Amino acid sequence: MKGKRLLYLLIGLGAVAALAFLPGGVKEDFAVAGEFNLEPVVKLPKIGPFDLSVNKAVIYLWLATAIIVVVAIVVSRSLKVKPGRFQYAVEALYELARDGIVGSVMKSGKATWFPYVGAVFFFVLVNNLIGLLPLPFGEHHQPSFYAATANLFVTATLALFTFVFTHYAGIKKNGALRYFKNWAPASAPPVLKQIIFVIHAVSEFFRLISLSVRLFANMLAGHAILGVFFAMALIFQSYLAAVLLQGGSVLIYLFEIFVAVIQAFIFAILSAVYIGGALDQDH
Amino acid sequence: MNPAAYRELGAGLAMGLGAIGPGIGLGILIGKALEAIARQPEVSGDVRTNMFIGIGVTEAVALYAFVVALILIFVAK
């Protein structure tokens, strides 16, 4: 029995080694950066400075929205006391958004702000995850990987929502004067207070940048690395390299699933932290 | 060297040097979080949530370097 297993192992290794002597395929022009080009799919006229053309990112955003809406409707129409697998998975994600994200970092206004934070969590999560499916929106309708969240304009818009809602929540609860006064500690001397106020104001804008760039760069880096790994086999032009590197790209792919979930979680939890911080100011 | 070579060298240096700090930071952060969980397993949920917030903030620094590298390669002329 043991000898047989060794034999199979040797045959397998021999087959892999034999691949090294096979001539590789034709080298094709492949640039990873090309996957992120946004050519308009449906051309529409410009209205003022806004180009309304439908491109790849827009299709992915629509797709994510459609998936969320359909799943939400299907699950909420067929709720059972004893949940099936699908309902249990959606409920677990809902519970993560409610208790793990909003419940654990916000003190007051949980019920008011859960809809926003939960919606952002699911939107970013589904957008990140469908970015890992090959969909036929590449060049010449070839299957390609793209995520709408690997686009700075999408993530900046999401971050802008959080930015606006943070200050809206803070001003609505504390009153405009008290909200801005609380940006600097009351016990500090007047000169220092002004400096702290300015530093805090700058940091509010940097939150906007860091929130959007974090998600954008994570998804872009992930997809670029995936693209490089897939293209390696073309670059080396050898079946051995293809076999070995496909193993690597499977590992990177698994890691990207983890990153997609973690980034959605971080985006939502930081939104909740910022809004919670504006609601319950600590000085 | 021609300017394009300097640009690509700069992009590589930006990414490599920019990853040092966040790498050390993430090591300390996650190590301390695990230490805290090992000491007090009953608060592991809270510690883990805060650890992820910290990871997000620390990791953003490396990603700024990544964005700078991308700008150097694709945008700067």
pLDDT digits (tens, 9 = 90+) for B20-69: 999 999 999 999 999 999 999 998 888 888 888 888 888 888 888 988 88
Under 8 Å CB pairs connecting chains A and B tally to 41
Q: Which residue in this structure is represented by tokens 């390696």? A: A232
Rounded Cα distance between A90 and A158, Å, is 23
> Mind telling me how many Å the CA of A2 is from chain B's nearest CA?
42
What pLDDT was estimated at residue A25? 54
Q: What are the tens digits of pLDDT across the range A82-106?
A: 888 888 999 999 998 998 888 888 8
Residues of chain B with Cβ-Cβ distance to A220 below 8 Å are: 66, 70
Residues of B with CB under 8 A from a CB of A: 45-46, 49, 52-53, 55-57, 59-60, 63-64, 66-67, 70, 74
Residues of chain B with Cβ-Cβ distance to A214 below 8 Å are: 56, 59-60, 63
What pLDDT was estimated at residue A155? 93
Give the nearest chain B residue to A270 (CA atoms).
B53
The residue among A116, A121, A66 whose CA lies nearest residue A93 is A121
What pLDDT was estimated at residue A32? 63
Q: Domain residue spans in chain B?
A: 3-75
Token couple for A244: 């070995």
What pLDDT was estimated at residue A107? 85
DSSP classification of residue B1:
-
What pLDDT was estimated at residue A272? 92
What pLDDT was estimated at residue A29? 60
What pLDDT was estimated at residue A228? 81
Task: Please spell the DSSP secondary structure of A200-223, one letter per residue.
Answer: HHHHHHHHHHHHHHHHHHHHHHHH
> Mind telling me how many Å the CA of B2 is from chain A's nearest CA?
22
Q: For chain A, which ranges sit under pLDDT 50?
A: none
Gyration radius (Cα) of chain A, Å = 25
Of B53, B55, B63, the CB nearest to A213: B63
What pLDDT was estimated at residue A167? 93
What pLDDT was estimated at residue A78? 84
CB-CB under 8 Å, B67 with A217: yes
What pLDDT was estimated at residue A119? 93
> Mind telling me how many Å the CA of B52 is from chain A's nearest CA?
7
Across chain A, mean pLDDT equals 84
CB-CB under 8 Å, B45 with A105: no
> pLDDT band for position B13 (50/70/90)?
very high
DSSP classification of residue A184:
S
Would the ipTM clear 0.85, i.e. be above it? no
> Mind telling me how many Å the CA of A33 is from chain B's nearest CA?
9
Which CATH fold would you assign to the domain B3-75?
F1FO ATP Synthase (1.20.20)
Number of Cβ atoms within 10 Å of the Cβ of A207: 18
CB-CB under 8 Å, A270 with B53: yes
Q: What are the tens digits of pLDDT across the range A204-256?
A: 898 898 899 999 998 988 888 888 887 776 777 777 777 778 888 888 899 99
CB-CB under 8 Å, B74 with A33: yes
pTM above 0.90, yes or no: no
